[in-house]
Chains A and B, each alone.
Chain A
Amino acid sequence: MKKNNTHKKFALPKTPTGVEGLDEITEGGLPKGRPTLICGGAGCGKTLLSMQFLIKGILDYKEPGVFMSFEETAPDLVQNVLSLGFDIEKLKNEKKLIIDHVRVERSEIEEAGEYDLDGLFIRLGYAIDTVKAKRVVLDTIESLFSGLDNQAILRAELRRLFSWLKEKGVTAIITGERGEATLTRQGLEEYVSDCVILLDHRVIDQVSTRRMRIVKYRGSTHGTNEYPFLIDKEGISVLPITSLKLNNKVSSEVISTGVPGLDQMFDGKGFYRGSNILISGTAGTAKTTIAAYFADAQCKQKHRVLYFAFEESPQQLIRNMSSIGIDLEQHIKKGYLQIHSARPTLNGLELHLLNLRKLIQEFKPDAVVIDPISNLTSVGNPHEVRSMMVRLIDMLKIHNITVLFTSLSKQYDGRIPDPAEDSVSSLVDTWITVRDMEGIGERNRGIFIIKARGMGHSNEVREFVITNRGIQLLDVEIGPEGILTGAARGKNALNKKISAFKLQSELDRKDREVARKRQVLEASIMSLKNEFASLEEELSILKVTEQLQSGLTVDKKGTNKKAT
């Protein structure tokens, strides 16, 4: 049990290459203290990769290096990598790098009798000792085979050389030209068997892609896929296709959509930071405008936004957005916004992805806008686009970068999603659709939320208008047959106004009638009261007369009795 544990813990010591992405696929780098073979056809980047290995070793890992070149002269090499921004002369002067050009010219050399390659060993050993090198490159040692005749000696000496390199404890890269049936023309893979990396340069549909594959790596696990790599002004970078797992951290911070009114359609009043948002819609439904709104809102909060425009140049985008009152230029000047424009057909998908990745790593944005992704289908089939999107989304999620895609959907009948949308719809967290709502001789824009993972959202189709002051979401107008838009909305509003007016005048009339009635009522009350009062008066007069008369009769009776 304990043995198992220690067994598991053992990891082959590795030397990081410093080549972006390569260390990920090799899970740490090249085998430390052992030779690695890099093979590939002409012009696939062998020399560059090995040079980068040395330079990065010196700059990033403080490991001096020796470059033994059998093909290019030292000045040529210096020039070649100077264009990549590496100043070799400086490293040479600082005694951290030695470039030794080994010239083997068959026409100048004759062979007579036995020999060995001690000269090579001594030169290499001398160079290694001078700078205390930890990294060595032999580029391309196969040139010896064209310079010298005696194959038996050469092979024996190469075998000796590789074991000598191991003894020296240097991490070495040996490059080899790709052979027809074998990995290298001279079968170098026989001698260097610890790690073999194959480089490849292919052109498919007029789009060239460089790829890299680890053929073998003794004693270590490694990515086995073909990984596309890019050579640009900063050298080589490799993109692992599926090295990522879905275990990224999530944020519950909510950021504004930037569009007034749209926030209210989400229960959380916006998007989650680090989520990905798809805005799909047919042509001219203001996808770009919404994207620009989002970018603008982010920039205003001092977040950095990277905007990839596959359809418009930065200037055009800025101009168009300023026409609706969004000033993107100020954000660019302040350094919060970067707009990158490129035609999708400029590169293959892989290169686009690599470019995105590089820019993202350089700029470290908080949000990324890709406008639109549907254009990428022109350089790849939907399957490839999807796989690219998966990788892009994964990469952005890992860095907790919010990404907003726009996608142009073709006008379909009904609700069948477009292939481009289809390729990403299951990947995105929030999906907003803007669509045309055609009615009586007019076209209105409507926006609605198809999904919003982890957040309640409105089910309404909201109409919006774009004026020179920007997007404005209109209040929902509900008519007898559902939500109203455009002219119907206007008509409805007018109807409402008319009926309101009618109602009001009716009310006024009733009021007046009541008032009149009241007056009549009050008047009749008054007359009744008067009548009653006169009746009362009459009654009291009667009563008084009655009393007087009865008094008189009593007196008469009294006198009458006296008289009898």
Chain B
Amino acid sequence: MKNKEATLTRTDLYKFTLFISGMSSKSLRAIGNIQMINEKYLNKGSELTIIDIRENKEQAVLHQIIAVPTLIKTAPIPVRTIVGDLSDIEKVLRVLDI
């Protein structure tokens, strides 16, 4: 899910962390949506980490996760948090400033 070339075209790399809870339909939809955004709008220029909070419960506490799925954009700043399965693509793009 990394593309070093993207760094050439963009000044900074998008870094996402997606928190999901098991392989629920919402989780799968969220993964699909963020991958689609990566391919379609970011020219694969992003790094995505997926954390299943059922497996990594401490991470949920650490990152103040309440609702799942939650997508956190850690870079570039500002940090943005989106909850939901990201099906509202337009809103996601607007919030992520893409």
A interface with B by C-beta (< 8 Å): 100, 102-104, 108-120, 122-123, 125-126, 144, 148
Contacts and interface: CB of A to CB of B under 8 A. Distances in A.
Interface in B23-69: 26, 29-30, 33, 53-54, 57-58, 60-61, 64-69
Contacts of B61: 100, 123, 126
A120 B84 contact: no
B84 A119 contact: no
Contacts of A100: 61
B6 interface: no
A73 to B, nearest CB: 11
Given A112-B87, A126-B57, A119 B70 contact: yes
A123 B43 CA distance: 35
A189 to B, nearest CB: 23
A102 B21 CA distance: 18
Interface string B80-91: 111111111001
A123 B81 contact: no
B14 interface: no
A144 B83 CA distance: 13
Nearest to B25: A114
B57 A118 contact: no
B26 A114 contact: yes
Contacts of B19: 119
A104 B64 CA distance: 8
A331 to B, nearest CB: 56
Contacts of A125: 57
Given A115-B85, A118-B21, A110 B65 contact: no
Contact of A123 (B22, B30, B60): B60
Contacts of B53: 118-119, 122
A174 to B, nearest CB: 16
B92 interface: yes
Contacts of A112: 82-88, 91-92, 95
Nearest to A114: B85
A123 B65 contact: yes
Contacts of A144: 66
Contact of A122 (B26, B29, B30, B57): B57
A38 B1 CA distance: 48
A563 B9 CA distance: 222
Nearest to B68: A118
Contacts of B67: 115-120, 148
B65 A115 contact: no
Contacts of B60: 119, 122-123, 126
27 contacts: A100-B61, A103-B64, A104-B66, A110-B91, A111-B84, A112-B85, A112-B86, A112-B92, A114-B85, A115-B26, A115-B67, A115-B68, A115-B84, A115-B85, A117-B68, A118-B53, A118-B54, A118-B68, A119-B70, A120-B66, A120-B67, A123-B57, A123-B60, A123-B61, A126-B58, A126-B60, A144-B66
Contacts of A117: 66-68
A112 B83 CA distance: 6
A100 B58 CA distance: 11
Q: Which of B29, B68, B80 has the most CB of A within 10 A?
A: B68
B83 A111 contact: yes
Given A119-B19, A123-B61, A113 B29 contact: yes
Contacts of A148: 66-67, 83
B87 A113 contact: yes
Contacts of A108: 79-81
Contacts of B83: 109-112, 115, 148
A336 B27 CA distance: 70
**Which are the 4 A-B pairs with shortest beta-carbon distances?**
A113-B84, A113-B87, A118-B21, A119-B65
Which of B19, B54, B67, B82 has the largest count of A CB atoms less than 10 A from its CB? B67
B64 to A, nearest CB: 5
A119 B21 CA distance: 8
A110 B79 CA distance: 12
A111 B82 contact: yes
Contacts of B88: 112-113
A390 to B, nearest CB: 50
B54 A109 contact: no
Given A108-B79, A122-B60, A123-B65, 15 more contacts: A103-B64, A109-B81, A109-B82, A109-B83, A112-B83, A112-B84, A112-B86, A113-B29, A113-B84, A114-B87, A115-B26, A115-B83, A115-B84, A119-B65, A144-B66
A257 to B, nearest CB: 66
Nearest to A101: B64
Contacts of A109: 81-83
A123 B64 CA distance: 9
A118 B66 CA distance: 7
Contacts of A111: 82-84
Contact of B84 (A102, A103, A114): A114
A119 B68 contact: yes
A110 B81 contact: yes
Of A112, A118, A148, most buried by chain B (CB within 10 Å of CB) is A112
Contacts of A110: 80-83, 91, 95
Contacts of A120: 66-67
Contacts of B33: 113
A519 B88 CA distance: 147
B86 to A, nearest CB: 5
A519 B70 CA distance: 138
A113 B85 contact: yes
A111 B57 CA distance: 22
A117 B69 CA distance: 9
Contacts of A126: 57-58, 60-61
